[in-house]
Amino acid sequence: MSMHNLSPDYIPSETTEKVSMLQKMKYLFKNVTVEPIVFFYIIATLMTTLTNQNLALEKTCRVNLHFNTSICDAITLRNNSGYERSQEAEVQAIVQKWEAYRSFIIGSVPVVLVVLFGAWSDRHKRRKPLIMLPLLGATLSNVLLLLCSIYFMELKMQYSWLADIIPNLFSGGFGLFILGIFSYVGGIGDAENKTTRIGLITITQTVAISIGTFLSGIVLHSMGFIGVYAAIATVTFVTSLYCLFVVKEQDILSPEEKNKEESFKEIISMKHIKSLFETCFRNDEGKRRQKMFFLMTLLTLTIGPTMGEMPIVYMSVRLRFGWNEVNFSFFSSFQFIVQLIGNTFTLVVLLKYLKLRDVTLGIIAMCSKITAVLIYAFAPTGFYFHVAAVTEIFFGANLIALRAMMAKIVEPHELGQSNSVFGICEGLTPVVFGPLYSMLYIRTLMFFPGAFYLMSGCISIIVMSLYIWLYKLIKKEEKRQPKDNEQIETEEELLEKTFPAEMKT
């Protein structure tokens, strides 16, 4: 019997599996759209962040303060015998002062762009500009930083600071990029396909973050400033070309439709922003306004400390443990993996299997955070710093709880607008917490460089107290209910009753 006469029933199962796998791979690559863009942009962003911090330290030491070469070399190589602790503290104080300014600026203007261009994108069905702008901004920023590295001794640290801020300031940065990515993915395919694509984007983000955090210090250590900035500028530029020529727009409005509204005045119209906030914060019988304000307060007090800590942690561990960029990259990768395990455990075990309340998840998350910051603050060695990262394993459950509670108090068709408001809140937190943490670190770095963690602990105690208060109100409402199962209310209905009448605005 020849192979041509074989029916599918006679084909070995291994062959069928291979064909099936091959078809799946072909389908996957055929349907790849913005995933490579997400992958390379996130890696580029993470590598730039750590490189910028080191460039600022080097320039401040050698150019701004004019310390001699032997001192600056010793600080760079982490040779503690070659410099005084006070000298590195002086360098860090200047860098953190400018970082405070950066946090305020970067946390304000891009958020406005996210709101304006996000609304414009929804009306005109154009997503690619939201992705292209941050890519081009990152390319320009890295080209300017490359010039600052080439003309190292001629240009002070402030020039590299401007090279980092200005292009990203007017291109929307990471916030506009992520908005563009998820808006694009949400506009293609059917409902099932959208879910798959969003999941693929999330996986891509996770992989990119893990690779970026691990490689950032290693690549900088091996390639230097010029090599890193040249490589990142090339990667972001090629990625923008891929976005321009390969990624296709979906459902673009016709020229007739576009001409009716296409104008700069229409882009900056405030009526759409007003509509966004009115939708999310309108008052109704379910006391939506009070609940949204409550959740926004929790979100701000949760995200704020994290945003405040981010630019300081690297400086702190350099001063406390003598770490360099490679040591910090290893720690960041370890911390990220621990958080990923914690989030997975939360979703699979705590939510799906144990079916814990959202409020209970928030309390667990805050207990984890409070324990961790105490260890972070007083850790005598790098080993205990890693132990603190392990105790922080459930902190990610807090954001899961907040998102879940928000989803339960708005209509399904309003989730996009509610997420936009949450995104605005997240984007604005560095405006307050960035300068606050930087100023605290500057004033305590000589005698207690981990003091900023105690501030995070105090804020976390406030958040946990709010969660406990909400939990008690829910339990009290449960006790008032009849015992008959038919009359037991859902958790969403309980949440509606936990906000007393006096909270109405």
Q: Say if residue 291 is in the same domain as residue 429.
A: yes
Domains: count for the chain: 2
Residue at 496: amino acid letter: E
pLDDT at site 147: 98
pLDDT mean over 330-353: 91
Cα(332)–Cα(487) distance, integer angstroms:
49
Question: In this structure, are residues 333 and 213 in contact, taking their beta carbons and an 8 Å threshold?
Answer: yes
pLDDT mean over 316-332: 95
Which residue range(s) make up the domain with 240? 33-248+264-273
pLDDT at site 108: 82
pLDDT at site 420: 67
Q: Say if residue 324 is in the same domain as residue 399.
A: yes
pLDDT mean over 443-447: 94
| pLDDT above 70 as % of the chain | 76
Position 186 pLDDT exceeds 50: yes
The answer to whether position 23 is within a domain reads: no
Q: Say if residue 362 is in the same domain as residue 301.
A: yes
Q: Say if residue 66 is in the same domain as residue 144.
A: yes
pLDDT at site 499: 58
Q: Say if residue 243 is in the same domain as residue 321.
A: no
Which residue bears the tokens 């799946």? 24
In terms of pLDDT, which residue wins out, 117 or 358? 358
pLDDT tens sequence across 190-208: 555 666 777 788 788 889 9
Which residue bears the tokens 């946390």? 107
Position 312 pLDDT exceeds 90: yes
pLDDT at site 398: 87
Q: Say if residue 72 is in the same domain as residue 183.
A: yes
pLDDT at site 165: 94
Q: Say if residue 194 is in the same domain as residue 312.
A: no
pLDDT at site 113: 79
- Residue partners of 331: CB distance under 8 A and separation at least 6: 317, 323, 382, 385, 386, 389
Q: What distance, in Å, lies between the first and last C-alpha atoms of the chain?
A: 83
Position 459 pLDDT exceeds 70: yes
The answer to whether position 19 is within a domain reads: no
pLDDT at site 11: 44
In terms of pLDDT, which residue wins out, 496 or 262? 496
**Residues written for the chain:** 505
pLDDT at site 191: 55
Angle of the 109-124 helix axis to the 173-186 helix axis, nearest 10: 20
Q: Say if residue 295 is in the same domain as residue 207.
A: no
Q: What six digits make up the tokens of 182? A: 């998820």
Q: Say if residue 179 is in the same domain as residue 133.
A: yes
CATH of residue 128: 1.20.1250.20
pLDDT at site 463: 95
Which residue bears the tokens 């203007």? 109
Q: Say if residue 182 is in the same domain as residue 296.
A: no
Q: What is the DSSP letter of 429?
A: H
Q: What is the DSSP letter of 281?
A: H
Q: What is the DSSP letter of 347?
A: I
The answer to whether position 230 is within a domain reads: yes
Which residue bears the tokens 């908005």? 179
Min mean pLDDT across 133-137, 282-286, 405-409 is at 282-286
The answer to whether position 253 is within a domain reads: no
Cα(452)–Cα(465) distance, integer angstroms:
20
Question: In this structure, are residues 111 and 170 in contact, taking their beta carbons and an 8 Å threshold?
Answer: no
The answer to whether position 2 is within a domain reads: no
Q: Say if residue 362 is in the same domain as residue 224.
A: no
pLDDT tier, 140 (very low <50, low <70, confident <90, very high otherwise): very high
Position 377 pLDDT exceeds 90: yes
pLDDT at site 271: 61
Position 266 pLDDT exceeds 70: no
pLDDT mean over 6-17: 46
The answer to whether position 406 is within a domain reads: yes
pLDDT tens sequence across 27-64: 666 677 899 999 999 999 999 999 999 999 999 999 99
Q: Say if residue 186 is in the same domain as residue 286.
A: no
